[in-house]
Amino acid sequence: MYKRILVPLEHSAYDAAIIEHARKLATFCGASLVFMHVADGWAARNVHQLHLRESEEMRLDREYIEQTCASVEAEGLEADCLLAGGDPAKEIAAAAARENCDLIAMSTHGHRFIKDMIYGSVANEVRHLSRVPVLLVRGERRAGERGATPPVANPTTSNT
């Protein structure tokens, strides 16, 4: 079914839901995983144009995705990791094409704050930019736990 799954991570507790789901899906399909984080701070958005060095934030993001990749590889799955800088939705859609991924699997918060209403969510924008199916898994915090790792919940697939 799927051979290569792009898994964008945001370096938050919500990542646990999609990592677990993607791990199971990759095992079931015999697919490889590509973990990706898009740093979108000022330095990340301008690192190439201004020939900047990697910021501390980007270094921590790189360590995070490399550790995630290593933990999945330790379970016997094939995995790669990417760190990009810029507009998250555009970078995710471009990476899916460049890396020959046939599915994008990402977590969502399920909230609709003012910013989401004005600018739209990254997941929604990826859904519109992508030429491959997008699997959305809603991560939720456990009641009473601040910063808790969310369980896998509510997967939906979209290809619009």
- Helix then strand then coil, in percent of the chain rounded to 5, is 40, 20, 40
Read off the pLDDT of residues 15-59 as tens digits, 9 standing for 90 and up.
Answer: 999 999 999 999 999 999 999 999 876 555 555 554 455 667 778
**Residue 81 confidence (pLDDT):** 95
Q: Which two tokens stand for residue 43?
A: 């330095």
**Residue 41 confidence (pLDDT):** 60
Residue 153 has pLDDT above 50, yes or no: no
What are the angstrom distances between the C-alpha of 135 and each of 28, 105, 124, 132? 15, 5, 11, 10
Q: How is the chain split into domains, by residue range?
A: 4-158
Between 100 and 42, residue with greater pLDDT: 100
**Residue 152 confidence (pLDDT):** 40
Could you tell me where the beta strands, DSSP code E, fall in 43-111? 79-85, 103-108
Global pTM reads 0.78
First to last CA, the chain: 19
The superfamily CATH assigns to domain 4-158 is: HUPs (3.40.50.620)
